[in-house]
């Protein structure tokens, strides 16, 4: 299994990254000018990578699906970014951040990668402050921190409830500086449709210009995928409307392995679904769990009365409320990791204690308001409360918020080695698009950390190890037959979809797929359900190819065509998720198999058999993918059952 060489450097954990940097090959400044790198995506990972590669002297072509890099969906992250600064003197350290992340990921992540992440986390904060990111500060002028799920220290840096926005704008401003210098060629409103492989190496991409509808070719010495996750496979998710998994699927179809597709994170604190026309779900920051208490009525009849509109939550007496997280997990209480909180909410609602439509629980601030005063609560969460009120038309200062879990983040993604290179040489994947650092579950405020770590501090080093032996390779022409062939295939794919001329819109089919995914491949999974999902996904695929309707022209601005191409790839991902979920006969992190739980209903891992990364190789459209395993060796931490009770 030479392809799955993880390339973890030798030596003690704390010295691996230092050793790597000391011995890796670099590219000298004159040669950097002769090397081109394509970066697809402009979020925290892509934007940071494009800017940094530009600063180093490489020629970067950077693509963005929106009209501006500043709109990448990293912008929506609210709560914060973790770093092991230990500014609060509460016992934090690089090792502790590493340990919490490994444990939070339910021992399904690679030790060396996670340690490196914890190591560079401190540099990220320094870098962002230097960029002018207005992090929250104390009156003394020092940076402030808050606590987040899965940690017992306060290590989360934040900028109001808009941390992702501020970090992204920092990366964006660095990127625009390079654009101004001519080092980055920025192309907005472009979507990737294929990766071009020449002599076994990634050498370019086929892009669709979303304004003209034209299919265009771009060549480079290396290709970096930073296109985020595939959470929109559920149709309803906290992801942006344009967030998609297509770039990852294209790499997968061209031979890159897809790792751990089943690891999808369902975020516990989202605004519940209101109706049939709903297009997306809105996240309420995890930071709310710092001061909010989650509960449902203790008595079923109270829950029923609330659902019928006969009782108000404020009328339920304290002793009749079930603060189920505090009850089940006394040590972490409302701050248990996301997978645990989500499952607990689902468990209560499935048992008939849900409020609202029946699929909602309360997040109550009345205690916090009593303890801290309304002004203090407003200062901390004012903008979130305002957002909630605009959407739901309820005042969370007076009546508890209603929340329910929703698809939020995907830990799975393109398999990469320690250098963030995929199984295709010259093809790299960073940020949410890769599988690497979060194992089976991601902790809050770690996505921003990973995206920026990959973009600013990891990829710009590791990519040079690859590019150093490319300096003799002259610039590629996009007239190579490989490019012509890839373009032809892309056009054939588009023409095929346009020619269907059926009756159903893309969205109506996507909703069907989403329902299957949430019902059978969502928070709770079992063998029968997954088998059913595979059958149903196959049916949708047939419907898609026989009854899809795309109005308009193929080679002009066509939003429906964009969505159709993405849905085609989501169907592939849906299948992959179900296959992976079925094969993994254990529960871990975001993957919960109902057959594998403890008597108390907690996730039960099977380390004997499943302590590996499940990597899937594409074997053709109608074939089952082939499984490859990257064994995970825990040399430095003691693997144990996750416990948030004590």
By CB under 8 A, residue 499 contacts another protein: no
State how beta strands 222-225 and 36-40 pair.
Answer: parallel
Per-residue burial over 556-594, b = 16 or more CB atoms within 10 Å of its CB, e = otherwise: eebebbbbbbbbbbbbbbbbbbbbbbbebebbbbbbbbe
User: Closer CB to another protein, residue 178 or residue 366?
Assistant: 178
SS3 545: helix
- Longest CA span, the chain: 76
- Relative to beta strand 36-40, strand 59-64 is parallel
Residue 333 vs 382, nearer CB to another protein: 382
* Among 13, 118, 219, 242, contact with another protein (rule: CB under 8 A): 242
- Phi/psi for 523 (5° steps) reads -70, -35
Are the C-beta atoms of 4 and 415 separated by less than 8 Å?
Answer: yes
559-583 and 481-500 are packed helices; what angle lies between their axes, rounded to 10 degrees? Answer: 100
Does 560 interact with another protein (rule: CB under 8 A)? yes
Residue 238 or 587: the one with the smaller Cβ distance to another protein is: 238
| Nearest-approach distance from CB 367 to another protein, in angstroms | 27
Given candidates 24, 188, 465, 468, which one binds another protein under the rule CB under 8 A?
Answer: 188
- 368 to 407, contacts with another protein by CB under 8 A? 386-387, 390-391, 393
With CB under 8 A as the contact rule, the residue among 169, 205, 296, 564 that binds another protein is: 169
Spatial contact of 478 and 219, defined as CB atoms under 8 Å apart? yes
Q: Which 582-641 residues touch another protein, going by CB under 8 A? A: none
Q: What's 160's DSSP letter?
A: T
State which of positions 192-221 bind another protein (CB under 8 A).
Answer: 211
Site for another protein in 101-140 (CB under 8 A): 123, 125-132, 134-140
CB of 390 to another protein, least distance (A): 5
Residues 460-489, one symbol each (x = binds another protein by CB under 8 A, - = not), give x-----------------------------
Q: Is 505 a binder of another protein (CB under 8 A)?
A: yes
Of the ranges 155-163, 258-266, 514-522, 588-596, which one interacts with another protein (CB under 8 A)? 155-163
Q: Tell me what percent of the chain is helix, strand and coil, each rounded to the nearest 5.
A: 45, 15, 40
584 catalytically annotated = no
* Nearest residue to 223 via CA among 258, 198, 259, 243: 198
Please say which residue, 355 or 581, places its beta carbon nearer to another protein.
Answer: 355
Q: Which of 221, 288, 232 is nearest to 506 (CA)?
A: 232
Closer residue to another protein, CB minimum distance, 143 or 471? 143
CB of 78 to another protein, least distance (A): 8
Nearer to another protein, 83 or 530 (CB): 83
Q: Map tokens 């080695």 to a residue.
A: 417
Which of the residues 272 through 301 are near another protein (CB under 8 A)?
Answer: 274-275, 277-280, 282-283
User: At closest approach, how far in Å is the CB of 133 from another protein?
Assistant: 8
HSE-CB at 399 with a 13 A cutoff on CA atoms is 16
Report phi then psi at 603, rounded to 5.
-65, 140
Q: Report which DSSP code applies to 597.
A: B
Catalytic residue among 289, 293, 321, 338: 338
Which of 71, 289, 346, 380 forms a contact with another protein (CB under 8 A)? Answer: 71
Q: Which is nearer to another protein, 184 or 579 (CB)?
A: 184
Site string for another protein, 506-525 (x = CB under 8 A): -xx-----------------
Q: How far apart are CA 638 and CA 298, in angstroms?
A: 38
Q: Is 85 in the site for another protein (CB under 8 A)?
A: yes
Does 307 help bind another protein (rule: CB under 8 A)?
A: no
Which of 324, 457 has the CB closer to another protein? 457
Task: List the one residue from 162, 227, 232, 285 that touches another protein (CB under 8 A).
Answer: 162
**Which CB atom, from 53 or from 325, has the smaller least distance to another protein?**
53
Collect all residues with Cβ–Cβ distance below 8 Å to 481 and sequence separation of at least 6. Answer: none
Single out the residue of 5, 12, 19, 68 in contact with another protein (rule: CB under 8 A): 68
Shortest CA distance to 103 belongs to which of 525, 645, 646, 644? 644
Choice from 6, 17, 52, 417 touching another protein (CB under 8 A):
52
Task: Say which residues have a Cβ less than 8 Å from residue 247's Cβ, sequence separation at least 6.
Answer: 40, 41, 192, 195, 225, 227, 433
Count CA atoms within 13 Å of residue 252 on its CB side: 31
Shortest Å, Cβ 28 to another protein: 17
Residues 22-51 binding another protein (CB under 8 A) are: 48, 51
Any residues with CB less than 8 A from the CB of 542 and at least 6 apart, and which?
none
C-alpha angle 202/207/213, rounded to 5°? Answer: 165
* Pair 452, 48: CB distance under 8 Å: yes
Q: Mark residues 421-460: x for contact with another protein by CB under 8 A, - for none.
A: -----------------------------------xx--x
Q: What is the smallest separation between the CB atom of 70 and another protein, expressed in angstroms?
A: 6
Q: What are the catalytic residues?
A: 338
């Amino acid at each position: 299994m030479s392809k799955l060489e993880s390339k973890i450097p030798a030596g003690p954990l704390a010295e691996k990254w230092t050793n790597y940097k000391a011995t890796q090959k670099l590219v000298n400044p004159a040669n950097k000018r002769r090397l081109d790198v394509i970066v697809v995506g402009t979020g925290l990972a892509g934007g940071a990578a494009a800017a940094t590669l530009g600063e180093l002297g490489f020629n970067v072509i950077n693509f963005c699906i929106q009209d501006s890099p500043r709109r990448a969906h990293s912008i929506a992250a609210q709560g914060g970014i973790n770093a092991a600064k230990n500014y609060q003197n509460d016992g934090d350290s690089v090792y502790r951040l590493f340990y919490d992340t490994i444990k939070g990921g339910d021992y399904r992540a690679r030790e060396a990668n996670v340690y490196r992440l914890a190591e560079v986390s401190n540099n990220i904060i320094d870098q962002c402050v230097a960029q002018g990111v207005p992090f929250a500060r104390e009156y003394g002028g020092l940076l402030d921190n808050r606590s987040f799920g899965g940690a017992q220290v306060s290590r989360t840096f934040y900028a109001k409830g808009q941390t992702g926005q501020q970090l992204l704008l920092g990366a964006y401003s660095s990127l625009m500086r390079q654009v101004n210098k001519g080092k980055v060629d920025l192309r907005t409103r472009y979507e990737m449709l294929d990766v071009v492989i020449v002599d076994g190496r990634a050498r370019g991409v086929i892009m669709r210009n979303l304004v003209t509808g034209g299919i265009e070719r771009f060549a480079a010495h290396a290709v970096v995928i930073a296109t985020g996750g595939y959470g929109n496979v559920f149709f309803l998710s906290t992801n942006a409307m344009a967030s998609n998994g297509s770039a990852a699927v294209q790499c997968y179809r061209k031979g890159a392995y897809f790792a751990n597709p089943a690891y999808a994170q369902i975020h516990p604190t989202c605004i519940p679904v209101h109706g049939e026309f709903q297009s997306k779900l809105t996240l309420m920051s995890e930071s709310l769990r710092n001061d909010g208490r989650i509960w449902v009525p203790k008595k079923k009849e109270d829950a029923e009365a609330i659902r019928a509109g006969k009782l108000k939550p404020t009328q339920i007496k304290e002793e009749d409320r079930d603060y189920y997280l505090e009850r089940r997990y006394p040590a972490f209480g409302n701050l248990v990791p996301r997978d645990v909180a989500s499952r607990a909410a689902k468990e209560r609602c499935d048992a008939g204690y849900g409020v609202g439509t029946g699929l909602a629980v309360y997040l109550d601030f009345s205690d916090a308001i009593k303890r801290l005063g309304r002004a203090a609560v407003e200062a901390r969460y004012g903008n979130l409360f305002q957002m909630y009120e605009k959407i739901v038309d309820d005042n969370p200062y007076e009546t508890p918020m209603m929340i329910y879990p929703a698809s939020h983040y995907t830990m799975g993604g393109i398999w990469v080695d320690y250098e963030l290179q995929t199984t295709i040489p010259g093809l790299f994947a960073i940020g949410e698009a890769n599988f690497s650092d979060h194992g089976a579950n991601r902790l809050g405020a770690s996505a921003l950390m990973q995206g920026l770590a990959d973009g600013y501090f990891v990829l710009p080093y590791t990519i040079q190890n690859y590019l150093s032996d490319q300096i003799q390779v002259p610039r590629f022409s996009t007239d190579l037959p490989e490019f012509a062939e890839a373009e032809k295939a892309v056009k054939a794919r588009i023409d095929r979809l346009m020619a269907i001329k059926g009756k159903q819109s893309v969205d109506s089919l996507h909703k069907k797929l989403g329902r299957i995914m949430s019902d059978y491949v969502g928070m709770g999974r079992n063998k029968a359900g997954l088998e059913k999902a595979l059958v149903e996904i196959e049916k949708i695929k047939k419907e898609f190819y026989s009854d899809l309707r795309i109005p308009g022209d193929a080679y002009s601005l066509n939003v429906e065509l964009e969505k159709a191409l993405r849905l085609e790839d989501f169907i592939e991902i849906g299948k992959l998720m179900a296959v992976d979920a079925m094969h993994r006969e254990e529960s871990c992190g975001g993957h919960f198999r109902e057959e594998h739980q403890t008597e108390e209903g907690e996730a039960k891992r099977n380390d004997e058999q499943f302590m590996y990364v499940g990597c899937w190789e594409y074997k053709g459209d109608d074939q089952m993918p082939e499984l490859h395993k990257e064994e995970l060796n825990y040399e430095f931490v003691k693997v144990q059952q996750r416990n948030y009770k004590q």
